Chains A and B, each alone.
Chain A
Amino acid sequence: MSREQEAVARARKAFQTGRSKPIEYRIQQLKNLQRMFTERQKVISDAMKKDLNKSEVGTQLYETMGLEGEINLALKKVKEWAAPRPVEKNLLTLSDTVYIQPEPLGVVLIIGAWNYPWAVTIQPLIGAIAAGNAAVVKPSEVCVHTAKVMESLLPLYIDKELYPVVTGGIPETQELLRQRFDHIFYTGNSAVGKVIMEAAAKHLTPVTLELGGKSPCYIDKNCDISIACRRVAWGKYTNCGQTCIAPDYILCDPSIQDRVIAEVKKSIQDFYTDNPKTCPDYGRIINQRHFKRIMALMEDSTIAVGGDNDESDCYIAPTVLRDVKPEAKVMQEEIFGPLLPIIPISSLDEAIKFINKGEKPLALYVFTPDDKIINKMKNETSSGGLLANDCLVHYSVSSLPFGGVGNSGMGCYHGRFSFDQLSHLRSCLIKQLKMEGVNNMRYPPHTPKKLGWARFFILNSVDLGWAGRMALLAVLAVVAAVVIQNYLL
């Protein structure tokens, strides 16, 4: 048996003992996870610095703080989320108990990404634990140091049979994908997303795919350009542009392009000083392969700001490209780097047309003081999420579902959505064996009279409210008794 097979088999066996199901156990594991972040902040930050040159504050701000919030939310709410959820009934089932019971799915596979390794690997894990599942955690091998830290730390705090960490690259992931899971949660790019979904097809395993795309950013010429550019610059250059919801490119009127460039330049200077290379708050490209990829994207566009780079350090300066054409290299794929192309566009309608020609993105940004423009954008385009007048921050609202649509993904999570995504919502109808007389109307031999009554009981086109329903039930019980006595027996 391969190492991967063993880990999955052990997790399934552990799940079958039933120990991940009781609420107290889930809470205990989540508390342990919480403790890990409190106690091991330094180790986590050190690894992040080595992988992505993220500062200690940066790691907390963009990785662990969000997780702490999610764990707190889960601790507070898991009992409520896991409780039976009552649903409305029809006349025929008025005296029965009808509800939806959330249940664990079984063994979940979580495949993490390298750009916010803690956030995107652990947040699904929180949902998996809260929902009572076992989970095999496969951190991205690209963030080498962080993967090692996850592998060594997680087993010290949470049940290592139920939640094993399996590290490795492509062959190990492929071996994992040959095993049977009850759900696969993948964060990464669309190309690999397709491979994952195909592998899942074998076992009919449902998947959640958190993918990416080119998130457009429309800047209306009548907005406060200074504030808009500040927010966009922050959204873009955080983590060196390696964010699935980073504003990928800007669409704006040609008349404001120069102003936008100037304001973005100013924000870059405010954030990262005149020499971002020496600034501790500015990140690096994850590896040489991505460095080369991003550098090649710049080739056929005009650089307005930045452009300097250092391959040995995987450093690319915060860069703005001007007058970019739709056919340019930088517009052919998700940039995932610190290049901000500006495409001059003459109207909102043109911008919407342009956006709709591409794949549905994970996020869409629109900067404008005009509600009409926001509504038009919202109604005439589709995207995972839409954020007006800022970047990225919708991610932090745990009551909003976070996920893509079309090429940017399927499924969603955060907060209660993580719990529901990794649960089975089982429909339950609890009846008694009495009142069998009422059932007679549905049994053969069939008569037109019986049909009339059956239709009446099943058709539920009237909403009477509780009191109304109780009154109607009382009347019906009497009527039913009379009918049964006289006509059906």
Chain B
Amino acid sequence: MVNENEEQILKALHQDLAKPKFEAILSELVILTNELHYAISNLRSWMQPEYVSKSLATRFDDCFVQREPLGVVLIIAPWNYPLQLLLLPLVGAIAAGNCAVIKPSEISLATENLMAELIPRYLSQDCYAVVRGGPEETKALLENRFDHIFYTGSQSVARSILQAASVHLTPVTLELGGKCPGFIYGHVNIVAAARRLVWAKFFNAGQSCVAPDYLLCTRATQDTLVPALRQALEDFYGTNPQTCPDLSRIVSPRHWTRLMNLLGRSKGKVVVGGESNEEDKYIAPTVLVDVTEDDALMEEEIFGPILPIITVESLEKGIEFINCREKPLALYVFSDESSVINMVLEKTSSGGFVSNDGIIHMSLPGLPFGGVGGSGWGSYHGRWGFETFSHRKACMLRGWALERLNGLRYPPYRDDKLGWLRWTCVIDSN
């Protein structure tokens, strides 16, 4: 489906987000193809019974873990990477043997239309149904019983999803967001750091759950950082980003207004960018300095091409700043000093952690992708997706012999029996 309809997919993504072909191919098609290849090559081994270690008492028994499908899972996707975030979970669900109800986001309308048309042509409609609609339809969907709900989106909606799930004791995976800090500290190759930061931040016009939301650095670093950011932006998007085909747009007028409102209320100083155009849903890549922690831009996840820089006096203060807030989905540290990196790693928590780059950890199927605390619950990608949508059934097959040994555990209970049992159970063949 993905291979045969690449043109149409790219067109739809461009319609929804003005997504540049390059970004769309890498972040929507390639990542999906990777996940599919990975699942196809490894599925058989994932499905095998996993034999586990035993004690002396269970020496002659078969003890293993058998993965099973959960049943019918619900996948709810957001609009920012409408293909990836809809189909990557689906790969895990199918690999694990489930049926799925798939709910694409109605905000990325062109992609939703395309998915509703394409998926039934390639996958069984009975097993993998596409359901379209907005908040009302989603609410109705959630009244049904599912065996797992996989939701990517915002914290506020996640709360209602969790409440709906609790009615049926349905387990959930919540891929949420938060404000992902970018911390630049110590001795650092500022040009390289700035390029990587700019790439990670303005990819998809900042509308990524793992985009560096805001930057933390000392005043001295800020002085060298801002020109480096400016240069990188110019190298990437030219002097008039609105005319550059490699920059996305904001997904909807509502979100454009939201971002412009945040920018308007901010007390920070714009040092790069700031231009915008409502009709085009365009906001220039914008950097602000002199932003304080109670600024409008620090109230919620920005999810747009606006990058506030907050100065801190020291590494400790920076870590404290990060720890006062919800655990983010990703945390980025830029430094040439490994002691700085290790300190931040040790003293903070986040879904994922990358030093000296941004976003790229998502491309590794060996790493579980998910949040912690306010940024989410559960994870997927690669084998983690398979496990998320599976039940690990503990299986133990005993024989009929050795009933004498069992005699040790039957009443009447006696101290000497207990002694023998201790010995056989506590010795671990590990």
B412-430 Cβ-contact flags toward A at 8 Å (1 or 0): 1111011001100110101
Q: Is the CB of B193 within 8 A of A433?
A: yes
Q: How far is the CA of A463 from the CA of B425 in the complex (A)?
A: 41
From 387 to 440 in chain A, residues with beta carbon under 8 angstroms from any chain B beta carbon are 387-390, 393-394, 396-402, 405-407, 409-412, 424-434, 436, 439
Q: Is the CB of B58 within 8 A of A397?
A: yes
Is A482 part of the contact surface with B, judged by Cβ < 8 Å?
A: no
Q: How far is the CA of A190 from the CA of B168 in the complex (A)?
A: 10
Contact A455 B30, CB 8 Å, known A100-B367, A400-B63, A410-B169:
yes
Is A141 part of the contact surface with B, judged by Cβ < 8 Å?
A: no
Is B122 part of the contact surface with A, judged by Cβ < 8 Å?
A: no
**Residues of chain A contacted by B193 (CB below 8 angstroms):** 433
Is B355 part of the contact surface with A, judged by Cβ < 8 Å?
A: yes
Contact residues of B: prevailing secondary structure: mixed
Complex interface: stretch among A26-34, A66-74, A307-315, A319-327: A66-74
Is B235 part of the contact surface with A, judged by Cβ < 8 Å?
A: yes
**Residues of chain A contacted by B409 (CB below 8 angstroms):** 61, 234
Is B350 part of the contact surface with A, judged by Cβ < 8 Å?
A: yes
Q: Is the CB of B397 within 8 A of A436?
A: no
From 153 to 188 in chain A, residues with beta carbon under 8 angstroms from any chain B beta carbon are 182
Is A193 part of the contact surface with B, judged by Cβ < 8 Å?
A: yes
Contact of B367 among A106, A204, A427 (CB under 8 A): A427
B46-61 Cβ-contact flags toward A at 8 Å (1 or 0): 0000001111011000
Q: How far is the CA of A397 from the CA of B189 in the complex (A)?
A: 52
- Report how many residues on chain B are interfacial, defined by Cβ distance under 8 Å: 110
Is A211 part of the contact surface with B, judged by Cβ < 8 Å?
A: yes
Contact A201 B162, CB 8 Å, known A412-B392, A429-B354, A443-B236:
yes
Q: Is the CB of B366 within 8 A of A87?
A: yes
Chain B residue nearest in CB terms to A105:
B372
Q: How far is the CA of A103 from the CA of B331 in the complex (A)?
A: 15
Complex interface: stretch among A115-123, A248-256, A445-453, A468-476: A445-453
Q: How far is the CA of A427 from the CA of B360 in the complex (A)?
A: 12
The size class of the interface chain A forms with chain B is: 35 or more
Closest Cβ of chain A to B183, distance in Å, is: 14
Q: Is the CB of B166 within 8 A of A400?
A: no
Closest Cβ of chain B to A25, distance in Å, is: 15
User: In this complex, which of B347, B361, B376, B417 has the most chain A Cβ atoms within 10 angstroms of its Cβ?
Assistant: B361
**Residues of chain B contacted by A230 (CB below 8 angstroms):** 403, 406, 410
Q: Is the CB of B26 within 8 A of A454?
A: yes
**Residues of chain B contacted by A69 (CB below 8 angstroms):** 425-426, 428
Is A65 part of the contact surface with B, judged by Cβ < 8 Å?
A: yes
Is B258 part of the contact surface with A, judged by Cβ < 8 Å?
A: no
Is B65 part of the contact surface with A, judged by Cβ < 8 Å?
A: yes
Q: Is the CB of A445 within 8 A of B52?
A: no
Is B123 part of the contact surface with A, judged by Cβ < 8 Å?
A: no
Chain B residue nearest in CB terms to A359:
B169
Is B260 part of the contact surface with A, judged by Cβ < 8 Å?
A: no
**Residues of chain A contacted by B366 (CB below 8 angstroms):** 87-89, 98
Q: How far is the CA of A394 from the CA of B392 in the complex (A)?
A: 14
**Residues of chain B contacted by A382 (CB below 8 angstroms):** 68, 391, 393
Q: Is the CB of B246 within 8 A of A385?
A: no
List 7 tightest A-B contacts by C-beta distance, closest first: A87-B366, A446-B22, A197-B166, A201-B162, A399-B52, A57-B413, A444-B246
Could you list which residues of chain B lie within 8 angstroms of chain A, going by C-beta atoms?
Answer: 20-23, 25-26, 30-31, 33-34, 37-38, 41, 52-55, 57-58, 63, 65-66, 68, 70-71, 147, 155, 158-159, 162-163, 165-167, 169, 171, 174, 176, 188-189, 191-193, 195-196, 199, 235-238, 244, 246-247, 334, 336, 341, 345, 347, 349-357, 360-361, 363-369, 372-374, 376-379, 391-400, 403, 406, 409-415, 417-418, 421-422, 425-426, 428, 430
Residue pairs across A and B with Cβ atoms less than 8 A apart, 30 shown, are A57-B414, A61-B421, A87-B366, A92-B363, A98-B361, A98-B367, A194-B169, A198-B162, A201-B163, A204-B158, A211-B169, A386-B395, A390-B396, A390-B406, A398-B428, A406-B71, A426-B350, A428-B354, A429-B353, A429-B354, A430-B341, A430-B354, A431-B356, A433-B193, A433-B334, A436-B191, A444-B22, A451-B22, A455-B25, A455-B26
